[in-house]
A and B are shown apart, each in its own frame.
Chain A
Amino acid sequence: MTDEDSAFAALGMLGDPLRRRLYRYVAAAPAEVGRDAAAEEAGISRSLAAFHLDKLVEAGLLATSFRRLSGRTGPGAGRPAKLYRRADGEHAASVPPRSYDAVGRLLARVVEDGGLDRALQAAAKAEGAEHPDAAAGDLVEVLRARGYEPFQDGETLRLNNCPFHGLAEEFPALICGMNLALIEGLATGQWSPTMDPQPGGCCVSLRRDGVRDASRDDRRDSKNKKD
């Protein structure tokens, strides 16, 4: 099987809408997901969810681990639960064949070697600022549509996925700086993005302006919103 064949085989698993829904739920979840939670999300039985989740594991799209969810150990603690998370590998296929990633890598090298970080950041920020939905205030949906997999962590909005992962690994300063600028452009007054790298996720997190502490979400603080 060629690389292209295996990519189509893996992606073909997602043709089934139910399986796709389970995949998206597990992939976007900030923590590992058990069979019960996945079944509930998809509105199906636990055994059917288990069947489809294990098909996704076979295809290399999900990975598993075993852990006791109760936190108890020793006799009587019960069997460890099978937990699912997004697998590390990437699967891409295009018809007709396209190689935008190869071009992206080449361009990144030239921008890096040319020391053009600030030109890239300015362009990224401008592109973000031009996005009509973000300007309308729907930042979380815009980030979701761009593959960042946003999730709320207290008052902080974190991003579970880096859409530029491969390039960010190879050119971290350049690509993460570009990504922060892009999100700064997308974020309107309500949100403040900051560089806050998380293992496996995006380097940026966002906080709502005017919220200083999750335990003191006091409306009186909103008087400082305009600064």
Chain B
Amino acid sequence: MPKTGFHLAQVNVGRIVAPIDSPELAGFVEQLPEINELADRSPGFVWRMVDDEGQDATGLRPDGHDDLFLINCSVWESVEALRAFTYETGHLRVLSRRREWFTRMVEPHQALWWVPAGHLPSVAEALERVQLVRDQGPGPEAFTFRSPHPAPDEAAAPPAAPEAPDGLRTPSRD
């Protein structure tokens, strides 16, 4: 993938089924260091949001009235890099057990959006993007894995060479 002047920001919010220090969440909490370390050394990883303790984001409570409401936010070089970490690494092990630890949310609870390389999103900015998906559905300002949008400079670039749509790219022949 060509590097662009934009990075992909990602946020998902979720409501845990019991307090973070409860036995119900122990299986989740004990895997966090390994999974975060895996993210940190994954290709295309740029940054992830952490709380004051600096290890992970489980200390952040974006809704001050709800002690079970957690946020997870990170920045990647591309959609492909984030997708590979999310679904093609040990992270999938945690993801497949999500319903043991997180309540199913009826409303959309995640968003992807492009930020200028170097920009690190705030909690407020991330929550706004989730709200955008909720209010307007996926669009260029806030989208999802299922309906991705290209980075602004990719979208603006002149069509130099015909390119197959996502998923149909042939492997390079070098």
Contact = CB atoms under 8 A, between A and B. Distances in A.
Interface stretch (B62-70, B95-103, B113-121): B95-103
A172 B96 CA distance: 8
Interface stretch (A110-118, A128-136, A213-221): A110-118
B90 interface: yes
B42 to A, nearest CB: 13
Contacts of B90: 195-196
A120 to B, nearest CB: 10
A195 B98 CA distance: 14
9 contacts: A114-B104, A116-B99, A117-B99, A172-B92, A173-B96, A173-B98, A176-B87, A194-B93, A195-B96
Interface in A171-212: 172-174, 176-177, 180, 194-197, 199, 203
Contacts of B98: 117, 173
A115 B97 CA distance: 11
A173 B96 CA distance: 4
Given A177-B96, A196-B90, 10 more contacts: A117-B98, A117-B99, A172-B86, A172-B92, A172-B95, A173-B92, A173-B96, A176-B96, A180-B96, A197-B92
B88 interface: yes
Contacts of B100: 118
* Most B Cβ at <10 Å: residue of A113, A114, A176, A195: A195
Bin the interface of chain B by size: 10 to 19
Interface of A: 65, 113-118, 172-174, 176-177, 180, 194-197, 199, 203
Q: Closest 7 A-B residue pairs measured CB to CB?
A: A115-B104, A177-B96, A195-B93, A117-B99, A173-B95, A172-B87, A197-B88
Contacts of A176: 87, 92, 95-96
Interface in B122-174: 173
